[in-house]
Amino acid sequence: MPEGDTVWHTAALLREHLAGRTLTRCDVRVPRFATVELTGQVVDEVLSRGKHLFIRVGRSSIHSHLKMDGSWRVGNRPVRVDHRARIILEANDIRAVGVDLGVLEILERDRDGEVVAHLGPDLLGPDWDPVRAAANLAARPDRPIGEALLDQRVLAGIGNVYCNELCFVSGHLPTAPVSALADPRRLVSRARDMLWTNRFRWNRCTTGDTRAGRQLWVYGRAGQPCRRCGTLVRFDDRGERVAYWCPSCQR
Is 31 a known active-site residue?
A: no
Is 241 a known active-site residue?
A: yes
The CA–CA distances, whole Å, from 207 to 168, 198, 214, 221 equal 11, 11, 7, 13
Rounded Cα distance between 47 and 125, Å, is 9
**Dihedral sign of CA atoms 196, 187, 121, 107 in order:** positive
Q: Which of 84, 185, 227, 241 is catalytic?
A: 241
Start-to-end CA distance of the chain, whole Å, equals 26
CA dihedral 95, 101, 105, 106 (to 10 degrees): -10
CB 206 within 8 A of CB 216: yes
Is 90 a known active-site residue?
A: no
Rounded Cα distance between 150 and 153, Å, is 9
Nearest-5° Cα angle at 95, 65 to 158: 25
Q: Which of 49, 51, 56, 86 is catalytic?
A: 51
Is 16 a known active-site residue?
A: no
The residues near 185 (Cβ < 8 Å, ≥ 6 apart) are 130, 131, 133, 134
Q: Which of 2, 130, 174, 184 is catalytic?
A: 2
- Residues tagged active-site: 2-3, 51, 241
